[in-house]
């Protein structure tokens, strides 16, 4: 029976490598000027805002579509209140139309 090949000889080797993933950059720390840090944070915030605004727009479009479908279903099932078109038809003409 063939077994899939793996880079690890046993499970303990896998967990040893996994533990290394939790140490950022092998313990190295990089110092950057505060102005660069603020610029980096600003760029990250703008990117996150762009993503969130896109998601919000998508949710709003979905809500519009769902409301439209609900109204169509209500109309088809006769669940909407009676239209007042007969009142509009029998209403007197305004003086501007005479």
Residue 84 lies in a domain: no
Query: For a pLDDT cut of 90, what percent of the chain falls above it?
Result: 48
**8 neighbors 17 (Cβ within 8 angstroms):** yes
Residue 45 lies in a domain: yes
Provide the pLDDT confidence category of residue 62 given band limits of 50, 70 and 90: very high
Mean pLDDT of 65-91: 80
Residue 48 lies in a domain: yes
Provide the pLDDT confidence category of residue 35 given band limits of 50, 70 and 90: very high
Residue 19: per-residue pLDDT: 57
Half-sphere exposure of 10 (CA within 13 A, CB side): 1
Distances (CA, A) of 80 to 47, 67, 94: 44, 14, 29
Residue 87 lies in a domain: no
Number of independent structural domains in the chain: 1
Query: For a pLDDT cut of 70, what percent of the chain falls above it?
Result: 56
């Amino acid at each position: 029976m063939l077994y899939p090949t793996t880079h690890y000889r046993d499970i303990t080797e896998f967990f040893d490598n996994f533990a290394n993933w939790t140490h950022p950059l092998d313990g190295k720390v990089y110092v950057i000027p505060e102005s660069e840090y603020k610029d980096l944070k600003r760029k990250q915030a703008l990117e996150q805002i762009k993503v969130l605004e896109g998601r919000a727009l998508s949710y709003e479009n979905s809500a519009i579509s769902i409301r439209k479908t609900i109204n169509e279903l209500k109309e088809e099932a006769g669940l909407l209140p009676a239209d007042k078109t007969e009142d509009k038809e029998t209403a007197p003409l305004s003086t501007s139309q005479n």
